[in-house]
Amino acid sequence: MNSILFRADSFTEIGTGDLMSLIQLSKYFIKEGWDVSFMTQRTESAIKLLESHNVDNIFFIESGKSLSYEINYLNSIVELNNIQVLFFEITERKLTEYKGISSTPFKACVCFDGHVPNNFQFVLDWSVSAQSNYNQKENTNTMYLLGPEYVILPITFDREKIKQRIYSTKTKNVLIAMGGADEFNITHKIVSDLITCNSLNLNIILGAGYLYEETLIKLLQNSGAKYKVNKNVKNMFLEYMGCDLGIGAGGLISSELIATRTPAILISTYEHQIDRCEYFNRKGLAVYLGHKKYNREQLINSVKNSKKPESTKKFNTTVIMRKFYSAYLKYNQKK
């Protein structure tokens, strides 16, 4: 049986997107019979996220451990478990800092800064500026999938249902999903601004790393607004397809909103999200209100006047899988 180890983290400072994207990708491998395991720092956010997706083959790194300890631990797992593929998504540090990793496994990564060791065989980067981040001629043994279309989407996304989507003539059901951690509590600000709109039904999605639930619930309970709060949702596809409008952050959520052709309002929460939000806004796929801050009146007007996206954007995770197998086969033939 083929075996793959995914390496990513989840905590407030970096959010949950790193770990979430690899969890979603792992489900494609599981479907095809791979033995899947994860290695992650032991944080409350990571534990909740992995539990909510029924991931049980996990190697935890205890807090405070050095990078050299992590690399030695990683190499021991590779050897003891006959790991054939290592798949990284690390944003806390550069991948080039991971020196001394076992040379045996095929190495793949999601990367957004261009700093990838030359012994990696597969690089995935769905940032808008991805093409300018890498010297592809220098590493001819590496397969690069670069650009916004190469985003990892959940396996539950049904392309046929998306094509048949019916749009409401009036915005009523509003989804608010500001990421797994929402470090800056923009969810609270959005809810505060929209609870006065009595015609709206608010569906508020809270991620594994959200720390402000108590104050948010108090706000809602005293508002008279129509709302529901969902935590650690396993199947976001149903939430996207069940709303008239989605308000989201600029991470994975933005691509998922676009992929489901959901009328969308975006607010970036980290600097690396700005380019993606502006790109989707230029393409007529979403309305971008700003970075961390936005104008209340503009938000309300954008909600009231939401409409079907002007165009569509093609995403297809199965293309990523097909390209991965091509690179993996080529690597094994050379060994």
- Is the predicted pLDDT of residue 310 greater than 80, yes or no? no
Give the tokens for residue 227. Answer: 């709302």
Same domain for 104 and 86: yes
Pair of tokens at residue 190: 């959005």
Total Cβ atoms within 10 A of residue 167: 12
Which structure tokens are listed for 238? 């149903």
pLDDT for the residue numbered 108:
98
Residue 195 has pLDDT above 80, yes or no: yes
Average pLDDT, integer, range 85-94? 93
Q: Examine the domain organization and report whether 145 and 163 are in the same domain.
A: no
Share of the chain above pLDDT 90, in %: 74
Give CA–CA dist 335/330, Å, rounded.
9
Average pLDDT rounded to a whole number, residues 185-205? 94
What is the pLDDT at residue 105? 97
Any idea what the Cα angle at residue 29 is, between residues 24 and 31, rounded to 5°? 95
Query: What's the pTM?
Result: 0.87
Pick the residue with more confidence: 40 or 179?
A: 40
* pLDDT of amino acid 12: 78
pLDDT tens digits, residue range 129-169? 999 989 888 778 899 999 999 999 999 999 899 989 999 88
Same domain, 298 and 192: yes
pLDDT over 90 (residue 296): yes
The chain-wide mean pLDDT, for the chain, equals 92
Tokens 């996304």 appear where?
Answer: 157
Q: Is the pLDDT of residue 222 over 90?
A: no
At 96, is the pLDDT very low, low, confident or very high (cuts 50, 70, 90)? Answer: very high
The predicted structure's pLDDT at residue 282: 93
CATH of the domain at 114: 3.40.50.11380
Same domain, 295 and 322: no
Q: Report the 10 Å Cβ neighbour count for 238.
A: 12
Same domain, 92 and 166: no
Residues 70, 20, 275: CA angle, nearest 5 degrees = 105
For residue range 223-237, list pLDDT tens digits in order. 989 999 998 888 999
- 129: closest CA among 144, 142, 110, 148? 148
- pLDDT value of position 14: 81
| Residues 43, 182 within the same domain | no
Q: How far is Cα 265 from Cα 285, in angstroms, rounded to an integer?
A: 9
Average pLDDT over residues 257-276: 94
Q: CA 262 to CA 112: how far, in whole Å?
A: 25
Mean of the pLDDT values across residues 82-105? Answer: 94
Segments forming the whole domain that contains residue 195:
159-304
Number of structural domains in the chain: 2
- Percentage helix, strand, coil, to 5, in the chain? 35, 20, 45
**Tokens describing residue 230:** 């969902």
**What pLDDT is recorded for position 335?**
67
Q: What is the mean pLDDT of residues 87-113?
A: 94
Q: Is residue 311 situated within a structural domain?
A: no
Regarding whether 290 and 321 lie in a shared domain, the answer is: no
Nearest to 263 by CA among 128, 168, 161, 198: 168
Does residue 1 register a pLDDT over 70? yes
Question: Residue 228: its pLDDT value, please?
Answer: 95
161: left (phi over 0), alpha (psi -120 to 50) or beta: alpha
Residues 116 and 190 in one domain: no
Asked if 16 and 149 sit in the same domain, the reply is yes
Say yes or no: 62 and 186 in one domain.
no
Q: How many residues does the chain have?
A: 335
Structure tokens at 315: 């995403």
DSSP string, 223-292: TT-EEEEEES-S-HHHHHHT-SEEEE-SSHHHHHHHHTT--EEEEE-SGGGHHHHHHHHHTTS-EEEEES
Residue 139 has a pLDDT of 78
Euclidean distance between the first and final Cα of the chain, in Å? 18
